[in-house]
Structure 1
Amino acid sequence: MKSMYATGAAEQYRYRISPACDVGGQVTCNQPAECADPPGSHKFDVWRSPESPIAWEVIGWTCLTDADAGELGALTPGMVRSAFRRLQWPAAELSVQPPDGETLVNLDTNFFTTLTDASTQTVTLVGITVEIEATPQEYHWHFGDGVDQSTTSPGAAYPHLEITHAYLRKGEVGPSVDVVYGGRYRIGGSGGWTDIPGTLTVPGTAVGLTVLEARPQLVG
């Protein structure tokens, strides 16, 4: 964390800040204290130590926004949340059964995706290494005919039919599935994980599907 210096009449001091709920002056914490003024700010302890010998002590606190804290070299949960949302995470690839892009009217068409594993990326924020993990939590299915469905299941391949849809009329449709990620992070690639508030939805690409109408025929 960035230190600040000030010279007094008798000795020189260095200063630093850390989130007010820290234990032992860590760079972040699980439940940062929020301030009402200014809006969106968090509470930070102000630490002071003589230049020599080093002996840190809390001498007060202040409320800082993400921008203000960043200028002082402090990491905030808001910075991590913004990084989580701007990073690119895998989109879900939709599988449809029957295969080959065709199905029948009134047939239970099966849908699933194999995107179930967590993805991890490492970023550097205000000089601090942060590991961010995104885990699929929910799936939003768009069947292409105006019908949507949300599930926590990724579906399954035949014969384990979990996510199915019957089309009522023939035509061309473009079904897709969006994946909803939950996030968490940790500092320096070790230690405990901290949940990131909210979720992030990554849209899926529509696949072409032709709905055919089968006509019964008598055969001799």
Structure 2
Amino acid sequence: MATAAPVPASADSGVDSGFGNVGVDIDGWVSDPATGDIGPLVPGTANTDPNEYKYELQCHLGGGDFDTPCLARQIECNNGPDGEEGIPVTWLSRPRGVPGAVWAHHSGPTCLYDARPEDLLPRIAADIQRQFESLPVNAGTVVAQPSPHTLRGAETNFYVEAVEQQFDVTMFGQQVHIVATPVQYTWNYGDGTIFGPQPSMGGPLPQDRWGEKTRTSHAYGTTGDFQVVLTTTFQGTYSVNAGPPLPIPGQGQFSAPPQTVSVWRSLTRNYADDCNVNPQGQGCPGVGATR
């Protein structure tokens, strides 16, 4: 089991081992209200936590002294987010701004892998596009009018029901909140016709207006079953540790599951009698239709 070598304590951070405040712009530490974990305050953001925090090595007794039996059983910190080694620490807290407040044990022992959040921001920014494109974003639901059958030569109205989505992920040990907003849509109607990318998601028509041409409608020239595929383009923003939202440089494209549309043809015939007189006449109930 790995053990920590004696490291002199720092009055500000609890330890000066390359993880302290010396030479590093850290505005403070905050507690995650959901998990209780302590994390660095992103520079430039407001600190609303009523407590202030500092850390000490797990087995540190103060000054240059360490608890030798503790060193033999301290936790191992050799499997960080990027495989790096960390340090075993315990967290102390006290009320912020209260004169004479005493530091008390808050949590731990736990592993501290990086006490320099500003070093991680460029790494998150460089990797955020890949992370964005790997999210399980729902491209939306495709609706066709009429459906599932439509007529050859008639306008079939297509539209999509898509919404903004939010995700919380961990990147390099930091909490990142991502918002994905649909901005463009591409329709592949399954017969070789592709429309988009364009900003209109379309919209529903009342049934008495089915067959009208709309921004996203399509008229099929042949009969058959066609797989309609929608691809939605999303624009994203991200924030690190509840910091301000930042734009994700690129866009993410996500496709909805294919929807089958059956295109039929219509025939018009005149008959001398009706189905009461001739139940087996063309077009009467129970008589096969022509597709």
Give the shorter-chain TM-score range.
0.5 to 0.7
Whether the 8 Å contact between 2:142 and 2:160 is mirrored in structure 1 is: yes
Q: Deviations over 1:109-163 (max 9, x none)?
A: 0001111x21111112222211111000101101010001112111101148431
Whether the 8 Å contact between 2:133 and 2:253 is mirrored in structure 1 is: no
Residue from 100, 105, 118 that aligns with 2:164: 118
Distance change >3 Å, CA 155–CA 13, structure 1 → 2: closer
Distance change >3 Å, CA 216–CA 13, structure 1 → 2: closer
Distance change >3 Å, CA 153–CA 216, structure 1 → 2: same
- Cross-structure match for 2:241: 188
Distance change >3 Å, CA 167–CA 136, structure 1 → 2: same
Higher radius of gyration, 1 or 2? 2
Partner Cα distance (2:25, 2:129) in 1? 20
* 1:85 correspondence with 2:133: yes
- Cross-structure match for 2:143: 95
SS at match of 2:263: strand
Query: Where does structure 1 lack aligned partners over 5 or more consecutive residues?
Result: 7-11, 19-24, 29-66
Flag the structure with more relative contact order, 1 or 2, with Cα contacts below 8 A and sequence separation at least 6: 1
Residue from 230, 238, 249 that aligns with 1:197: 249
Residue from 194, 203, 225 that aligns with 1:156: 203
How big is the shift at 1:192?
2.6
- Cross-structure match for 2:225: 172
SS at match of 2:262: strand
- Cross-structure match for 2:78: none
Partner Cα distance (1:13, 1:193) in 2? 26
Report the residue type matching 2:161 in the other structure. Answer: T
Query: Where does structure 2 lack aligned partners over 5 or more consecutive residues?
Result: 1-14, 27-41, 46-81, 83-112, 273-291
Q: Deviations over 1:78-113 (max 9, x none)?
A: 1222221222111222111102x1111110000011
Whether the 8 Å contact between 1:139 and 1:154 is mirrored in structure 2 is: yes
- Cross-structure match for 1:32: none
Distance change >3 Å, CA 206–CA 13, structure 1 → 2: closer
CA RMSD of aligned residues (A): 3.2
Please report the TM-score for the alignment, with normalisation by the length of structure 1: 0.66
Report the residue type matching 2:195 in the other structure. Answer: Q
Please report the TM-score for the alignment, with normalisation by the length of structure 2: 0.51
Task: Give 1:29-178 correspondences, 5 Å limit.
Answer: 74-76=120-122, 77-99=125-147, 101-115=148-162, 117-150=163-196, 151-159=198-206, 161-178=214-231
Partner Cα distance (1:154, 1:198) in 2? 21
Percent identical residues: 24
- Cross-structure match for 2:22: 14
How big is the shift at 1:75?
2.5
Partner Cα distance (1:126, 1:13) in 2? 20
- Cross-structure match for 1:26: 43
Whether the 8 Å contact between 1:5 and 1:13 is mirrored in structure 2 is: no
